[in-house]
Chains A and B, each alone.
Chain A
Amino acid sequence: MYDVVIIGAGPAGLSAAIACRESNLHVLVIDEFPKPGGRLLGQLHQEPTGEWWNGIEETKILMDKATTLNTEIKCGISAHHIEKTDHGYSVHTNEGVFESENLLIATGAAETAVPIPGWTLPGVMSIGAAQVMTNVHRVRVGNKGVVVGVNVLSAAIARELQLAGVELHSMALPASNPVTKNHANPRKVMEGLVRIAHLAPSAFIRFGSKFAKAEWVRNIAVSFYPKGGVKMWGMPIHIRKAIVQINGTEKVESVTMCDITADGEIVKGSEKIIEVDFVCIAGGLYPLAELASVIGCPFQYVEELGGHVPVHNEQMETPLEGLFVAGNITGIESAKVARAQGTLAGLSIVKQKLRDHKDINAKIQQAVANVQAVRDAASIQFHPGIDEGRKKIESAFEEYKIS
């Protein structure tokens, strides 16, 4: 019987494990991927300060701490079911059942699929797939590609592909269809683009970022968007062009690109064939929360957090006794926030286990403040309404406590 089983060895799970091991709890961390680190492993970007955020190095720091504390970490294990028992939780995996008093689900996020015709051809992949191949496995995903979907994540990873010497033709929107919705709407995409503008060495985008809080300015920017796209790190970003189809028989051979109006409608006769051998589709992230759902944890849909999120409070507790959550399962934010949330969740688990622990409340309050401080200082914000989203989920928790 473990004091806590932690599902997910990313920044949240590892930080929580460290906090628990520091109070000598009996901890097991499991992760499906062969290596610990989660999606932190693939991250590589330059902060506005000029410093590099290197996910492999950040993972090493966490793993060194966890190893020094003799933390039991098993990789390559998939949890496929969880049962609530009288004493806690039974975690069913492909390597047997693990019993635990407490459970932390830190499964992170998954990518929203943006289907466009031809997307099942070999050579089409999610933008995150390209990130892992490039930075973790050090394998080139192709010779020349195009990124479909313009958002915070895709711009960051497009830059990572460039750094690794992989050529990108451009970034453009997916063609409008019932599934692509906002991803195919230039006005909506512009809203997102201005949030990453401070990371772009481009006078045009920086100009936009100063005024973009006003909707009318954004509308002008969309209406007069340059035909050749706005260049970020030398690569054109098009929000008035869409990829309508991916072509090829056995693999990707080309894409069909069209001009679109400011409302995302295709301009007839504007089709152009662009030869590429890979395509990255970027639909943004949503919390990966199935495991919380199978135990019966209540959920709330919060758009600002990226989708359906398990109800939880500021201390990362859910309404189910002994069930905690941390990281992107609680809402889409940066790895730094996930790491701070992990530490907080770990401390909350310590409090749950050692009920008479004297100074733990002070530590928890400090950790809560730290999560907020890291959030406020984030250089990449996935959603502008993150604070409102957090308030919504916390009030949902209060409602559950009352009822």
Chain B
Amino acid sequence: MTNNRITDHPVLGKLENQTPVKFTFDGTTYTGFEGDTIASALLANGIRQLRVHEETGAPRAIYCNIGHCFECRVTVDDTDGVRACMTTIRENMKVDSGKLQAVPFKSKPEEWPRTYAEFEKSSKKDGVPHV
């Protein structure tokens, strides 16, 4: 198991007497410390990736870590769009990574199919359906 915890620090001292907290991320159980955010608890366990870009599927993780950029949004106990960097872990919390989403309205209005036949044609062009 990866442990990225800084247990000894020349100025801040030793990290001692921490209370462990168990939570799940995408179905796997991890242990963090009381006071950890979802982002810090996962990184301590060696996990960086928190979601994929909803449209492209590109991997994403924390960027600002102080709640401004919303790059770290995850699903917590079935509520989506929760910032992993601002949310403290709780015992048995269920965290799920952000997933790929359907993008039905990506194109410009003038490119929208006028008929179902046009829709089918444009869907097949990409090889995969839009929805």
Q: Which residues of A contact B130 (CB under 8 A)?
A: none
7 closest A-B pairs (Cβ-Cβ)?
A: A129-B65, A122-B61, A137-B40, A122-B48, A140-B4, A138-B6, A34-B88
**A133-B40, A134-B6, A164-B6 given as contacts; is B60 within 8 A of A120 (CB)?**
yes
Considering the complex, give the chain A residue whose CB is closest to the CB of B40. Answer: A137
Q: Which residues of B contact A140 (CB under 8 A)?
A: 4-6
Q: Which residues of A contact B114 (CB under 8 A)?
A: none
Complex formed: what's the CA distance from A130 to B63 in Å? 9
A54, A128, A139, A141: the one within 8 Å of B12 (CB): A54
A117 to chain B, nearest CB (A): 13
**16 A-B pairs, CB-CB below 8 angstroms?**
A33-B66, A34-B87, A39-B66, A44-B12, A110-B64, A111-B68, A120-B63, A122-B48, A122-B61, A125-B64, A126-B69, A129-B66, A137-B43, A141-B4, A163-B11, A164-B6
Q: Which residues of A contact B9 (CB under 8 A)?
A: 138, 163-164
B5, B7, B11, B37: the one within 8 Å of A34 (CB): B37
Q: Could you tell me which residues of chain B, from 1 to 59, have a CB within 8 Å of some CB in chain A? A: 4-12, 15, 35-37, 40, 43-44, 48-50, 53, 58-59
Q: Is the CB of B15 within 8 A of A138?
A: yes
- A-side residues, CB < 8 A to B, are 32-35, 39, 44, 52, 54, 56, 76, 78, 110-111, 113, 120-126, 128-130, 132-135, 137-141, 163-165, 250-251, 288
Q: Could you tell me which residues of chain B, from 61 to 77, have a CB within 8 Å of some CB in chain A? A: 61-69, 71
Q: Which residues of B contact A113 (CB under 8 A)?
A: 69
Q: Is the CB of B10 within 8 A of A163?
A: yes
Q: Is the CB of A139 within 8 A of B35?
A: no
B7, B60, B64, B87: the one within 8 Å of A122 (CB): B60
Q: Which residues of A contact B93 (CB under 8 A)?
A: none
Q: Which residues of A contact B53 (CB under 8 A)?
A: 120
B12, B67, B88: the one within 8 Å of A32 (CB): B67
- Classify the secondary structure of B's interface with A: loop
Complex formed: what's the CA distance from A225 to B31 in Å? 48
Q: Which residues of A contact B64 (CB under 8 A)?
A: 110-111, 125-126, 128-129
Q: Which residues of B contact A288 (CB under 8 A)?
A: 68
In addition to A125-B65, A129-B63, A251-B61, 14 A-B residue pairs with Cβ atoms within 8 Å of each other are: A33-B66, A34-B87, A110-B68, A120-B63, A121-B61, A122-B49, A125-B61, A128-B65, A133-B43, A137-B36, A163-B9, A165-B6, A251-B49, A251-B59
Complex formed: what's the CA distance from A316 to B30 in Å? 46
Instruction: Please report the total number of B residues contacting A with Cβ < 8 Å.
Output: 37
B102 to chain A, nearest CB (A): 21
Complex formed: what's the CA distance from A52 to B5 in Å? 23
Q: Is the CB of A121 within 8 A of B6?
A: no
Considering the complex, give the chain B residue whose CB is closest to the CB of A140. Answer: B4
B7, B59, B62: the one within 8 Å of A129 (CB): B62
Complex formed: what's the CA distance from A145 to B4 in Å? 15
Q: Which of A52, A54, A122 has the most CB of B within 10 A?
A: A122
Q: Which residues of A contact B5 (CB under 8 A)?
A: 138-140
B43, B59, B63, B87: the one within 8 Å of A141 (CB): B43
Q: Which residues of A contact B69 (CB under 8 A)?
A: 113, 126
Complex formed: what's the CA distance from A123 to B67 in Å? 17
Complex formed: what's the CA distance from A165 to B9 in Å? 8
Q: Is the CB of B48 within 8 A of A251?
A: yes
Q: Which residues of B contact A139 (CB under 8 A)?
A: 4-6, 40, 43-44
Q: Is the CB of B63 within 8 A of A126?
A: yes
A25 to chain B, nearest CB (A): 28
A57 to chain B, nearest CB (A): 9
Considering the complex, give the chain A residue whose CB is closest to the CB of B58. Answer: A120
Complex formed: what's the CA distance from A122 to B61 in Å? 5
Q: Which of A32, A35, A126, A137 has the most CB of B within 10 A?
A: A137
Q: Which residues of B contact A250 (CB under 8 A)?
A: 49, 59
Complex formed: what's the CA distance from A140 to B5 in Å? 6
Q: Which of B10, B62, B68 has the most CB of A within 10 A?
A: B62
Q: Which residues of B contact A141 (CB under 8 A)?
A: 4, 43
Complex formed: what's the CA distance from A164 to B87 in Å? 24
**A44-B11, A54-B11, A140-B5 given as contacts; is B49 within 8 A of A133 (CB)?**
no
